[in-house]
Amino acid sequence: MDFSDTPEEAEFRASVRKWLEANAQRARGTSGRFTGTGTDDIGAAKAWQASKYEAGYAAITVPEVYGGRGGTPIQALIYRQEESAFAVPTGVYEIGLGMCVPTVMMQGSDAHRDRFLVPAYRGDEIWCQLFSEPAGGSDIAALRTRAVRDGDDWVINGQKVWTSGAHFADFGILLARTDPTVAKHKGLTMFIVDMKAPGVDVRPIEQMSGGAEFNEVFFADVRIPDSDRLGAEGDGWNVALGTLMMERMSAGQGFGFFGATEVLELARKTEIGGRPASSDARVRERVADWWINEQGLKLLSYRAQTALSKGELPGPEQSVNKAIEAPQAQEIAYFARQLRGQAGSMDGEEIDEDWVHVDRSWLWAPGMRLGGGTDEVLRNIIAERVLGLPGDVRVDKGVPFNQLTS
């Protein structure tokens, strides 16, 4: 495992940091993940994305012909690491540029790449990912949204849920069932869908934080031309696996949650029994445990960074990052709220700016324990693909999908 940048990587990191210092505002213990989705917020995100595009940082690994820099995965990781220290509005693009647009790059036609890539990297168009469904939960292959061939078009009917950013997205990648007579992991096909097309109904879901970043999306006789299919008919599961693989490329980025260092700083400022909470052995013990976990995740990220530096892809062990960080973020935020005593029931904005990020972590962490794979799914991945333990018993293996739902 390498802990230091190569001379070339160090030079690139320095140039990135210099550009960010000149063009962005440093964050105060937070990151761009917690961003609003109002008109002004999206406008700010588009302006920031456009400035990154002009500077050559919007699509670092993408060939120059498609608006990229033609750089390496390690350069992309270095940029993300440096940008995370600045309060920039990146949230609306994370899924689209991190997962959807790379899928278009890998599985789309030349016409798709010519039409969609540059507007996406420049920030003109925003994408969402339409996988999860009410009846499927974390089992993506259990989806019931149907796509039926009608001449040169496909007619889509069904429902998706928990779709981040669908209410302001221009396009999405949609996984639908095109053949129900085969096993559930087969007979799936991926499409590009215009989110403003007739028959697409997006309904925001109000969250306990007061925001509405997630949505239900309904499709009623939505027509998609076969030319907007991604990959072969019936091969949607393999296309989707490629999309989900892109999540590993965010190794080392983190979620921007309130962490051990931040809660220790608050403990120094907060009194328990007339003394700083940080002087209490119970507080120090909890913070030490969280700090140790964070160091372990940092080392795991270094391993992923080393793999990228050598031209390799991080493996499924990156599931450990989310399996530990999201639950821990919820624990830390809850503990910090307890430090406030009776004031813990109040909104952070009513008390002090230092507590705002605590509340955001507390309200966001439960969702992050679901999105991108629940705690249970991640543990199964770690057990089966990392540790080599026997897989769960599956009674649906090889059974045609229409026999499972009849």
Q: What is the pLDDT of residue 185?
A: 93
* Burial zone of 208 (CB within 10 Å; 0-12 exposed, 13-18 middle, 19+ buried): exposed
pLDDT single digits (tens) 261-291: 889 988 998 888 889 999 999 999 999 999 9
pLDDT single digits (tens) 382-403: 898 889 999 888 888 889 999 8
Q: Which two tokens stand for residue 26?
A: 């440093």
Type of residue at 351: I
For the ranges 76-85, 110-119, 232-241, 350-359, which has the lowest average pLDDT? 350-359
Domain 251-386 has CATH 1.20.140.10: yes
Q: Pick the residue with more confidence: 322 or 137?
A: 322
Extract the runs of DSSP E, i.e. beta strands, from 162-199: 171-177, 188-194
Q: Residues 23-54, buried b or exposed e (16+ Cβ, 10 A)?
A: ebeebeebbbbbbebeeeebebbbebbebbbe
Q: Which two tokens stand for residue 311?
A: 């031209």
Which CATH fold would you assign to the domain 128-239? Butyryl-CoA Dehydrogenase, subunit A; domain 2 (2.40.110)
405 has pLDDT over 90: no
pLDDT single digits (tens) 222-234: 999 999 999 999 9
170 has pLDDT over 90: yes
Q: What is the pLDDT of residue 367?
A: 79
Q: What is the pLDDT of residue 142?
A: 92
255 has pLDDT over 60: no
pLDDT single digits (tens) 244-254: 777 655 544 55
Three-state DSSP state, 70: coil
Cβ atoms within 10 Å, residue 312: 11
Average pLDDT along the chain:
87
Measure the CA–CA gap between 259 and 361, rounded to whole angstroms.
9
In the block, tokens 């009917």 appear at 157
Q: Pick the residue with more confidence: 321 or 35?
A: 321
Give which of 4, 80, 93 is closest to 45, Cα–Cα.
Answer: 93
The average pLDDT across 194-217 equals 90
Residue positions annotated with a catalytic role = 247
For the ranges 27-31, 111-115, 133-137, 347-351, which has the lowest average pLDDT? 27-31
Which residue spans of the chain are classified as CATH 1.20.140.10? 251-386
Which residue spans of the chain are classified as CATH 2.40.110.10? 128-239
One-character DSSP codes across 368-401: HTTTTS-HHHHHHHIIIIIS-PPPPP-TTTT-BH
Q: Residues 254-292, buried b or exposed e (16+ Cβ, 10 A)?
A: bbbbbbbebbbebbeebeeeeeebbeeeebeebbeebee
Measure the CA–CA gap between 35 and 93, rounded to whole angstroms.
11
Q: What is the pLDDT of residue 252?
A: 43
pLDDT single digits (tens) 337-376: 888 777 666 665 666 666 777 887 788 788 778 877 788 8
* 57 touches 81 (CB < 8 A): no
Pairing mode of beta strands 214-225, 200-205:
antiparallel
Q: Pick the residue with more confidence: 326 or 159?
A: 159
Cβ atoms within 10 Å, residue 323: 20
High-pLDDT (> 90) share of the chain, %: 53
Give which of 247, 259, 257, 375 is closest to 323, Cα–Cα.
Answer: 375
pLDDT single digits (tens) 290-320: 999 999 988 887 787 777 667 776 666 677 8
∠ at Cα 364 (34, 346), nearest 5°?
95
Q: What is the pLDDT of residue 247?
A: 61
Q: What is the pLDDT of residue 2?
A: 65
